């Protein structure tokens, strides 16, 4: 039993060593950054003014600038704090500042699974290659997909959107040219209707 507990403790320290900490601040009545992309297991810390909190809500509530908390979601007090890691499951988490949601003080945290593909990913019909590449990627959409138009965004590891494009299914294959970006790891997000696709891409 003791050996089992020791293994769990050591494993926890080992995994923690690979995590990255992201900090979200506030600038007036706005979260900075408002969009953050992380990998499951990373740590998100909110450093906020005393009149601001961060409460997870549903997408519908977020769209309406509402404040009803999401059942089972994270809720940080005024002044901020650290989001429990177990609350940041793969997918998109929507959050607001309760007193200032009406002013548009809200943000999102996109959590990628350790493989770089979120759990609510489209499992087939979409592929991107080559990856890694020198910044020239090909995105292929299968004709079996029901959605005709997708919104594509590419984000830095800090969650900043640096590239966007509309992708049309009937084009079958679309070129993505980001060779002008610095070498490194980026995240691709493709959304169309209820379908969503996330992928870690590497420019080398």
36 and 6 co-located in one domain:
yes
- pLDDT at residue 172, as a whole number: 75
- pLDDT at residue 150, as a whole number: 83
94 and 151 co-located in one domain:
no
- For 73-92, write each residue's pLDDT tens digit: 999 999 999 999 889 988 89
Sign of CA dihedral 186, 195, 112, 60: positive
Tens-level pLDDT at each residue, the chain (204 residues): 443 333 333 333 333 334 678 999 999 999 999 999 887 778 899 999 999 999 999 999 999 999 999 999 999 999 999 999 889 988 899 999 999 999 999 999 988 765 444 444 444 677 889 989 999 999 888 777 777 888 888 888 766 778 888 888 766 788 999 999 999 888 888 887 766 777 888 899
**Where a domain ends, among 112, 135, 151?**
112
Q: Of 175, 197, 199, whose CA–CA distance to 187 is shortest?
A: 199
- pLDDT at residue 159, as a whole number: 67
- pLDDT at residue 65, as a whole number: 96
**Where a domain ends, among 112, 138, 162?**
112
CATH number of the domain within which 144 lies? 2.60.40.10
- pLDDT at residue 30, as a whole number: 97
- pLDDT at residue 2, as a whole number: 40
Query: What residues make up the domain containing 152?
Result: 126-203
The residues with which 43 forms a beta bridge, in sequence order, are 21
- pLDDT at residue 20, as a whole number: 76
- pLDDT at residue 189, as a whole number: 81
Secondary structure string (H, E, C) spanning the chain: CHHHHHHHHHHHHHHHCCCCEEEEEECCCCEECCEEEEECCCEEEEECCCCCCEEEECHHHHHCCCCCCCCCCCEECCCEEECCHHHCCCEEEEEECHHHHHHCCEEEEEEECCCCCCCCECCCCEEEECCCECCEEEEEECCCCCCCEEEEEEECCCCCEEEEEEEEHHHCEEEEECCCCCCEEEEEEEEECCEEEEEEEEEC
Q: How many CB atoms sit inside 10 A of residue 166's CB?
A: 10
- ∠ CA 77-81-85, nearest 5°, is 115
Q: Output the pTM of the full model.
A: 0.55
**Where a domain ends, among 112, 142, 177?**
112
**Is there a domain that residue 119 lies in?**
no
């Amino acid at each position: 039993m003791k050996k089992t507990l020791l293994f769990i403790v050591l494993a926890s320290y080992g995994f923690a060593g690979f995590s990255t900490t992201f900090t979200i601040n506030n600038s007036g009545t706005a979260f900075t950054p408002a969009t953050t992309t992380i990998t499951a297991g990373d740590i998100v810390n909110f450093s906020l003014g005393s009149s601001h909190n961060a409460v997870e809500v549903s997408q519908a509530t977020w769209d309406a600038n509402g404040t009803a908390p999401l059942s089972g979601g994270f809720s940080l007090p005024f002044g901020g704090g650290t989001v429990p890691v177990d609350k940041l499951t793969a997918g998109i988490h929507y959050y607001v500042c309760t007193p200032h949601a009406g002013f548009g003080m809200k943000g999102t945290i996109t959590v990628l699974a350790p493989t770089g593909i979120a759990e609510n990913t489209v499992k087939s019909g979409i592929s991107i290659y080559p990856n890694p590449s020198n910044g020239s990627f090909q995105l292929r959409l299968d004709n079996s997909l029901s959605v005709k138009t997708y919104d594509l965004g590419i984000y830095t590891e800090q969650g900043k959107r640096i590239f966007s494009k509309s992708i049309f299914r009937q084009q079958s294959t679309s070129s993505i040219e980001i060779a002008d970006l610095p070498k490194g790891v980026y995240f691709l997000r493709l959304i169309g209707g209820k379908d969503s696709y996330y992928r870690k891409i590497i420019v080398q």
